[in-house]
Structure 1
Amino acid sequence: MSTASPRSTDRRSARTNVQKAALIVGVVFLLVGILGFVPGITSNFGEMQFAGHESGSLLLGVFQVSILHNVVHLLFGVAGILMARTVSGARGYLIWGGVIYLVLWIYGLLIGHESMANFVPFNSADNWLHLVLGVVMVALGLLLTRNRRTDAA
């Protein structure tokens, strides 16, 4: 017979799948934001600009980054970690965060990569990653909460 009270159970085991997914996505964004500031992981580190398409820095040698881009990843990561505390927050983070990434994908396709409108900056690799992130995040938010009430705290 167990003497453990419900209060003494590990809170991590009480997380739903949507909360776990939002937490993982948030942690990944946080790590990406940090790695964007690490020379070696980010090539051409000395060419990093605050913002704009002139930034020559590439995360993993592929994804164009700037200080602003990295800060956005850090903030998006912190938001995911905080919002993963509730089912409705986790669901909202995944769905609306995914929508934001789909809008960024469309924006990246429509703007010229050498134009002033490319202020974050984005390159083709970023654009297609935004599509994948958007679809996956929206899918996780919807699929992991189907047939569930999402107004639980």
Structure 2
Amino acid sequence: MVKKFALIYGITYAILGVLGFVPGLVTAPETATHLAAETAHGRLLGIFPVNLWHNLVHLGIGVWGIVAAKGFDASVLYARANAVLFGLLAILGLIPATNTLFGLVPLHGNDIWLHLVNTALAGYFGFGPPVRGETTPSTSRG
């Protein structure tokens, strides 16, 4: 099941990364957030703040998930790393001084709850009990 999670999550993030570069799907930001990378800055689907670096990170996470889905251990590592990463990003998004990741990537607004949902999903698959028929990874779970 964790391999399916990595594949679906990876495909989803790869698609989101590409969609972030489609001008018709990214609306202008409502407020003037000062970012070092203003390229492709806006709101994906009018909801989620993105920019060039944000889209590239989404693409990277997507490709990583697709590659990780080929093995159980790699999928577990992928899920665990994403649980930690998105948890940290959600916390950074709540702090005004860091909600643009020091001017590089917008992490505010709807990104916060999305990162929390991602943390919960990835945490469930990364730290939950292994499904019957799958072997446990070399590191202990829990």
Distance of aligned partners of 1:115 and 1:35 in 2 relative to their CA distance in 1, 3 Å threshold? closer
| Structure 2 Cα separation of the partners of residues 37 and 139 of structure 1 | 30
- Which of the residues 115, 118, 123 maps onto 1:133? 118
3-state SS, counterpart of residue 58 of structure 1 = strand
Give the match for residue 70 of structure 1.
Answer: 55
Give the match for residue 42 of structure 2.
Answer: 57
3-state SS, counterpart of residue 80 of structure 1 = helix
Give the TM-score normalised by the residue count of structure 1.
0.75
RMSD (Å) for aligned C-alpha atoms: 2.7
| Structure 2 Cα separation of the partners of residues 116 and 98 of structure 1 | 18
Q: Is the 8 A contact 2:100 2:106 kept in 1?
A: no
3-state SS, counterpart of residue 51 of structure 1 = coil
- Which of the residues 16, 19, 27 maps onto 1:32? 16
Deviation at 1:115, TM superposition (A): 6.6
Identity of counterpart residues, as a percentage?
A: 33
The CA deviation string for residues 124-153 of structure 1, in whole angstroms up to 9 with x for no partner, is: 1011111111111111223362674224xx
The CA deviation string for residues 4-31 of structure 1, in whole angstroms up to 9 with x for no partner, is: xxxxxxxxxxxxx111110000000000
Amino acid at match of 1:40: G
Q: Is the 8 A contact 1:111 1:117 kept in 2?
A: no
| Structure 1 Cα separation of the partners of residues 108 and 52 of structure 2 | 15
Give the match for residue 137 of structure 2.
Answer: 150
| Structure 2 Cα separation of the partners of residues 117 and 29 of structure 1 | 23
Q: Is the 8 A contact 1:102 1:130 kept in 2?
A: yes
In structure 1, stretches of 5+ residues that fail to align are 1-16
Q: Is the 8 A contact 1:83 1:93 kept in 2?
A: yes
* Structure exhibiting the larger radius of gyration computed from Cα positions: 1
Q: Is the 8 A contact 2:68 2:74 kept in 1?
A: yes
Is 1:123 paired with 2:108?
yes
| Structure 2 Cα separation of the partners of residues 111 and 35 of structure 1 | 27
